[in-house]
Amino acid sequence: MLKKVGAIAAIAATIAVVVAATLGGTASAKSAKVAVNPLCKKASLGFAGPLTGGAAFLGKDQSNWVKLMIKNWNAGKAMPGVPKSLHRVKLNLALLGDSQLNPQVSATVARQMVANKKILGMVGFAGSNEELGGGPVLDGAKLAYVTGSATKDTLATGATGQKPLKYFFRVVPINSTQAKAGVSYIVPKLKLNKGSKVMIVDDGEAYGIDIANAAQKAFKAAGITKITRESVKETDANPGGSAGFAADMAPVALKAATGGYKLVYAPSQDAPDSQAFVEQLKTDGYKGGFMATDGSVSPSQYKFPGAYVSFFGPGIDKINKTYVKQYKATYGAASATDPFGAPSFVAAQMLATAISQQCAASHGKKISRALVAKTLKKVKLSTTILGYSMAFNNPADAFHGPKSGVTVFQIQPNGSYKEVFAAS
């Protein structure tokens, strides 16, 4: 009898264990089924741009606008273009990479971004040469990167000797769009004709050469045939630094002043270089016009009265005043006069929206760098702090950037930037 009871007890115990295991397994399966990926609770972004050197103001402004976007995003407040119904994944800015407008340094920064597995997207790089240096590393990791300023036409499409950057996106128009808009304004403004002499001076870098080539085509299309090309290495890339730039630029400025040129068109990524160039032209007695491009947009550093500058976005007065006010309160009034960094706010917003949309579509279960990049292609914002919508809708850019957004400013006697033209 004791043996029988013992046997029954043993059987009961075994059944209990099996049942418990089964229930436990069911519970575990159920738990696993509803588990939310930690990166759908809080994800990380990275930023890369020049934070030291002559162009440090560019990277600092851009990174500050990214920080402002993340602060507003995490606060859950209404934001231009973001649907109220979208569940926002909290964001963290995990890494600030100082790429220094240097392609070799950019590759190192890219490897740092890739190594941080929490980073699902990066805002940057700032310059086209940086994209060419660091982009292939990010592509290899399927890490999407959205720039607020790199404008070389062929970054996404590729060219001879340059593979297309597959995970690269931008929220600014390409160089040829900016060049065409700038030329369409400046030719009638300065009353240039087929007899007018124009000098185009690039900065010896991927960015400057590309936009200079585009401008040359645009001038020719406008009937301007007397075009002279020059090249002067900008300060950050010049072996002699600022002194080297000054020495190389001096004979070019003298040639423009004594050669009867009506316009000097000089794209550069260094605003102080543009200021030094136009001041030297004045010293040499030059009487014509001077036009720089987006890399020189800095009211505190490029401020020669009467000079022009084309840009890939709106003036600071056209940017949503709520955010300009926040920016000014946090980062100072001087920095808040410069519109260069604001597109990076939108770049971060596009990434944030892609992350949140992917998490929502998978009920918080599936998120990866590749999935974020795939979702990013389809993100559309009905409006932005820039005052217009945003989508990667330009076929000429392999649908990796927007179709428009160019403006032209003329510098006023007090150094302020006055918008004189906005391309439709």
Q: Is the peptide bond before 277 cis (omega within 30 degrees of 0)?
A: no
Contact 283, 299 (CB under 8 A): no
**Same-domain check for residues 237 and 302:** yes
Task: Flag whether 366 is in a domain.
Answer: yes
Task: Flag whether 290 is in a domain.
Answer: yes
**Same-domain check for residues 359 and 333:** yes
**Same-domain check for residues 72 and 132:** yes
**Same-domain check for residues 168 and 182:** no
Task: Flag whether 297 is in a domain.
Answer: yes
Task: Flag whether 1 is in a domain.
Answer: no
Buried-exposed string 105-133: b where 16+ CB fall within 10 A, e elsewhere: bbbbbbeebbeeeebbbbbbbbbbbbbbb
Alpha-carbon distances of 385 from 48, 81, 322, rounded to whole Å: 21, 9, 9
Domain containing residue 364: 40-173+316-392
Residue 253 three-state SS: helix
Contact 251, 279 (CB under 8 A): no
**Same-domain check for residues 280 and 415:** yes
Contact 135, 166 (CB under 8 A): no
Extract the runs of DSSP E, i.e. beta strands, from 140-285. Answer: 144-147, 168-170, 197-202, 226-231, 263-265
Counting every residue, how long is the chain?
424
Pairing of strands 197-202, 226-231: parallel
d(CA 95, CA 348): 14
**Same-domain check for residues 227 and 297:** yes
d(CA 84, CA 143): 27
Number of domains composing the chain? 2
**Same-domain check for residues 139 and 195:** no
**Same-domain check for residues 195 and 292:** yes
Give the CATH number of the domain where residue 112 resides.
3.40.50.2300
**Same-domain check for residues 297 and 234:** yes
**Same-domain check for residues 99 and 159:** yes
Task: Flag whether 164 is in a domain.
Answer: yes
Task: Flag whether 272 is in a domain.
Answer: yes
Task: Flag whether 23 is in a domain.
Answer: no
Contact 275, 242 (CB under 8 A): no
Phi-psi map region of 422: left, alpha, beta (phi>0 left; psi -120 to 50 alpha): beta
Alpha-carbon distances of 182 from 211, 214, 409, rounded to whole Å: 11, 11, 10
**Same-domain check for residues 307 and 355:** no
pLDDT of the chain, 424 residues: tens digit per residue: 333 344 444 444 444 444 344 444 444 444 445 589 999 999 999 999 999 988 898 999 999 999 999 999 999 989 999 999 999 999 999 999 999 999 999 999 999 999 999 999 999 999 999 999 999 999 999 999 999 999 999 999 999 999 999 999 999 999 999 999 999 999 999 999 999 999 999 999 989 999 999 999 999 999 999 999 999 999 988 999 999 999 999 999 999 999 999 999 999 989 999 999 999 999 999 999 999 999 999 999 999 999 999 999 999 999 999 999 999 999 998 888 889 999 999 999 999 999 999 999 999 999 999 999 999 999 999 999 999 999 999 999 999 999 989 999 999 999 999 999 998 7
**Same-domain check for residues 102 and 48:** yes
Task: Flag whether 399 is in a domain.
Answer: no
Q: How far is CA 411 from the centre of its chain?
A: 24
